[in-house]
Structures are given as structure tokens and as C-alpha cells.
Amino acid sequence: MKIKLFALLGLLGVLTTSAHAQTALPLNQPGRLSDYEDPLKRSGQLRDGSMNSGTVLDKIQLDESAKPKPENQAGALKFVLNSLKVIGNSALDEKLIAEQVRSYIGSPITGPDLQDMAARITRLYAERGFLTSRCVVPAQKVDDGNVVLQIEEDRLGAVQLAGLTSYRFDPRFFIDQVNDLRGKVINVPELDERLRLVARIPGARVKPTLKKTSFGITDLVLELSDIDNLGTISFSNDGSKLTSVNRMSVAKTFNNLTGAADVLSLSGTTALNSPQFFGGFNASYQRPVGSSGGRLTFNLSNLYYKLDPKAVGNSAIRYQGDSRTLELLYEEPFRLNPDYGNIVWFAGGEHKSVNASTVYNTPFDYPAGFKYVDAGDRIFAMTSGVRLERFDDWLGYRGRSTASLSFKRALPGTLGSISPDSVSNKLDNLAASSSATMALNSAQSAATTAATLLASSNPADSASYNLALANSLKAEANLSLARSNAEKYATVTGPIGDVRGLQTNFTKFYLGLSRAQGLPYSFLLDGSLSAEWTSAKRVPQAYDFVGADNGPSGFKLNSLLSRPINDSGFVGGVGWTYLRAYSYYRDASGGGSPACSKSPGVYSATSIDKNVCSDNYPYFSLTYRSKFVFSDFTYLPKLAPYAPNNNKLRFNMGIYW
């Protein structure tokens, strides 16, 4: 009886192990990292669409004392002008000045004519930006018809700061930006361009005023005032249906945190109904560096997620992961001139760490859960690029253009980054795991057959029974060995996802173009292009182009025509978006068949060759802004198959604090 029981238990154990080993577990998680990261990035945006609040720079004002006034000594005269000499000029070319008064030479003139000549030269100086300089007619004898005009060129004296009694800024951050212009003839456009370096010092309002202090000397007074620390609390429904659609975000910016013109911006987002499924935060710290408008920025972002079993449709499998990004960036302007374009270059590096795991909860011999996938990407990349911003008029309406071009270069093996060896090891382990699984299934089948024969053997026939028992014990030993071998490869490790063709030393280029153009009847037309390109056929998921089912390369075109609705604070608009992504290795056997389609339910046939996936859709927008509240509504008439959730009407609304 004991022998029979032993045989039945052996058969039960073999069958249980077989059921576990032959269960088809998914290698890749549902959804994409971008579904979880993008809403977190948007949570850090404040009123102006960025995480950082810069200095507000007012237009340069001329104090009454600095405005040039006529001061001519010409009386009631009348004579023939034989020659004219202009003295005191250093800023303008003499020939240019002579052109303004050449027509008077050899002609009879009067005192008012002399005043007109001085006014012409003063006007020429003003047109060239020398608004505080002037031309005067000094006291002189003109009996011989020879006249001298005096140029009084106004030079920059001291740079003074006002409003410092309640302000913690280090004065040098402002004075250093214009200190080298002291003693030079004041040119207001040049001074304004230099003050735009001040505008890159975050966290203050600066009102510049030119005030006359003595003959030929005018001081620049920079009046400083605080900018309030801005914060938002908002609610949105644009999250992933796999974690949580409804989100709550809190953001706050702290200006001049240490008195060094620095800014700290913090934001956090969590799932509104189920915080255990999603959460994360962003932090950004920036401060000015040097006297050339340089800025150093440190960014940190972190998130965690667990896929909702109800949304996945399988409570036996738990998908979870996290992502962390560290970035250090330095930027400095080439030129800051709103009429000809503000150009800024930047360079830096980032380290991104992404983890993804799949835990199988139900195996009989793993009651605490079995981690089937424990993968991770570590990427260190250098980045560099330029940005351009330009304001101009088109057909009498103001417009703003921006352009950016940058690249990122991954450095395999640096700071733990994935390398070609990481990819090779994962492919080798998957192949070994497949072989071990086949061997385990074969051993299980043999053990099941031997246990069945043992259970049906008659102990009275000792020879036959002993043979069956020996075969069963041998089969179990082989099964134990096969199971032990399979367990070496039971957990999938290495880079995340399907790594066929993954290039770890990729270089990726980013292009951004935009134009906001004012139109008649208060309409505004916004158009933009964002493109990403790499020669790599596969890059780590964190660097995929987001849209049209993702891929290593792609582009997005967007247009929006909007108009304020009276003076209500509402702005309505209608827009259109087109996306296209390029990817490789998306064959169904690799678990990567795309979700994009030319028509509902019809997917593009893919192979190892290039797969092109595109999408386009119209949308309608309605925004509202006031001093205390904001709201953004977007309606999408159609949803793409890969959309993160099923909401056609999406919103983000909140309050400022």
C-alpha cells in the first residue's frame, strides 16, 4: 500500500511540475514606458509650459534727465554757410553725419536752420540706438560763415541696483552682465541685448532705467522686485489605462532659493484612485554661471508603476517597474537679440536607469511568487545642440519662430550602461533557456510515463515491478537534473524587451521647428515639427520615438488654429496631428507586432525589414486661464489602437498657488 501511495505521489508531483514548466509566460510587458513617463513629464509644467520660471525683463526706460534736449546758442542770425565742422563724434562715421547737413553748405541759413541741422544729427544718433546722445550748437562767432556743431555723446556710468533692501540676490549676478559697457557710449539696443543676459538669471523682475548723473554720464539703474513662487495643483485623465487613467499632480517653483539667483522646481504625480499602481516626481535646479549668461541645470525624475491586474486581464501575473533619470546640462547664448534671433548652445549628459519585472504568482512550488522577468536598462548618453528663438512681423502681425537641433550619443559600459556583451548574453541565455525547457519537457514526459507504469505494476510480479520502479527512479533523477538546469535560466535578465538588433552605442538626432503666427481677427496659428532619427534599427525603449506605435525614428507634425472667445479667458481651437514611426524586428514571432493600422483591425505586415507606422487625427481644444485657475480640454474624435486610454475627452485642470 505504501508503495502504491509513493507511486501516486510521484505521478502527482511530475504532473504539477509539468503544468508549471509548460505555462506560456509573456516575455514583454503590456504597454510602453512612454505611457507611464509622458504624463509625469507633463505634470511638472507650470503656467508658461515649462518647469522653470525666468526673470521678467521690462523695456529700458529713459528718465527725463537722460532724454536729450535741444540746447542751441544760435540767435537771430542770417549768413551764408561756407563750412561746417562737427566735433565730439566717436560712435558714428563722419561721412554718415556729413550726409545729414551737406545740403546746407553754400546756402544762406538762419539760426533755426542751425537748430534743424543739430536736430537732424541728434535724430541720426537716435535712429542708430544712441538715444541719450545729442548734437548742439555751441556759442561761437559765425561772421566768416564757418560753423562748429558739438556732439555730446553720453556714456554709461555706474550700474546701480535698487530694491535690494528686501532682496537676497548677490548684486554681482546683475552688474557682471553689463559691467564691461561702462565708459562706452550708450547704445540702447546693445544695452538691451546685454540685459537679456540678465533675463536668463531666474526668479526676479528687473526694471532698467537710464538716469543722467552728470554731463556726458548716465547711470543704469536696475530696479529689482520679487517674482512670487508659483505652484499648481491639477487633476487630469490622460494617464495609462494599465496603471491609472486619473492622476493628481502638485508642482511648485522656488525662486532665488539661496540668494544666488537659483531656482528649484519640484513636481509630483500619483494615481488618483490607486496610488499603489503609479507615482513619481520631477526635480529641477538651475543657477547662473559666469558673466556670459551661462546656466547650469540639474534634473532628476523618478517613477514607479504596477500594472492593474484588472486592466491586464490576468491576476496571476504582476507587472511592475521603475525609471530614474539624472541629467546635468550647461547652456550659454551665442547671441540674444529678439529682432535677429536668440541663439543658445547647450551640452551635458544624462544617466537613465529603467527596470521591468514580471512576477508569476501562482506556481505550486513558488507560493511567494516567481520572478519570471527581471530586466533592466542602464544608459549613459552625452548630448549637445543649439536652440534658436526669433520674433518678427509678417503682414503686420507678430510671430515667433523656434528651432532646435541636438543629438544624443550613448556610451556603452560607462557608469554601468548596457553594452554589446549585455545584448549577446541575453540572446545566449534565451537560447539556452529554450534548450533547457525542451529538455525539461522531455524529462517530464518520460517521468510521467514511468510513474504511470509504476502505478499500474503488480508488486506480486517482483521482477516486472522492480524494473518499473528502477525506471521511475531514474526518470525522476533525470527530471530533477533537467529542472535544476532549467532553473539556471528561469529568470530572464539583461536589457528590457526583445533585444534582436539592439544597438547600444547609438547616436540619435533631434530636430524641432515651430511657428506661432498672429492672424487677422485675433486668430493665432501654431505649427510645429518634431523629428527623431537614428541609423540604429533598435534602441533601448526609453529612447524610442513616442507615437504611431513607437520606433527608433519618427516625426510628428502638429497644427492648431485658435482664437480667444471675447474677453472670457477662454481660447478655442481646432487642430490636426500627423505622426509616423519607423521600426524594425517587429515580426509577430518576436512578440512585437505593431498596433498601428491603415484601417481598424488591419495591421501592417512586418518582418525584420523596416516597418512604417503612421497615424493622423483632428482634435478640438478649449483652454481657460485666470489669475487663480486653469483648465485644458482636448477632444479626439478618433483614438489610435495604441492610445494609452479610451478617453476621447481629455482634461487637465487645477489651481495656481
Cell of 60: 529700458
* Chain segment 199-222, per-residue pLDDT in tens: 666 667 788 889 988 888 999 888
Residues in contact with 95: Cβ distance below 8 Å, sequence separation at least 6, in sequence order: none
pTM: 0.73
Residue 12 has a pLDDT of: 35
Domain 155-226 is found in CATH 3.40.50.12780: no
Cβ-in-10-Å burial (0-12, 13-18, 19+) of 338 comes to: middle
Would you list the domain boundaries of the chain? Answer: 69-152, 155-226, 427-487
| CATH numeric code, 69-152 | 3.10.20.310
Other C-beta atoms within 10 Å of 197: how many? 21
Q: What is the pLDDT of residue 530?
A: 95
Q: What string of H, E and C letters represents the secondary structure of 421-461?
A: HHHHHHHHHHHHHHHHHHHHHHHHHHHHHHHHHHHHCCCCC
DSSP code for 532: E
DSSP 8-state code for residue 629: E
pLDDT of residue 75: 56
DSSP 8-state code for residue 58: P
Residue ranges for the chain with pLDDT beneath 50: 1-25, 36, 39-53, 166, 363-367, 588-591, 597-603, 605-607
Please list the residues that pair with 557 across neighbouring strands: 529, 578
Query: Alpha carbon of 165 to those of 162, 451, 568: distances in Å?
Result: 8, 91, 39
Instruction: Determine the pLDDT at residue 166.
Output: 45
List phi, psi (to 5°) of 429.
-65, -40
**What pLDDT does 655 receive?**
92
Contact assessment for residue 149 and residue 84, using Cβ atoms and an 8 Å cutoff:
yes
Give 281's Cβ-side CA count (13 Å radius): 9
Q: How far apart are CA 443 and CA 22, in angstroms?
A: 12
Q: Which long-range contacts (CB under 8 A, 24 or more apart) does 174-183 make?
A: 174/198, 174/201, 174/206, 174/222, 174/224, 176/291, 177/201, 177/291, 177/293, 178/220, 179/291, 181/156, 182/156, 182/157, 182/158, 183/155, 183/156
Fold match between 69-152 and 155-226? yes
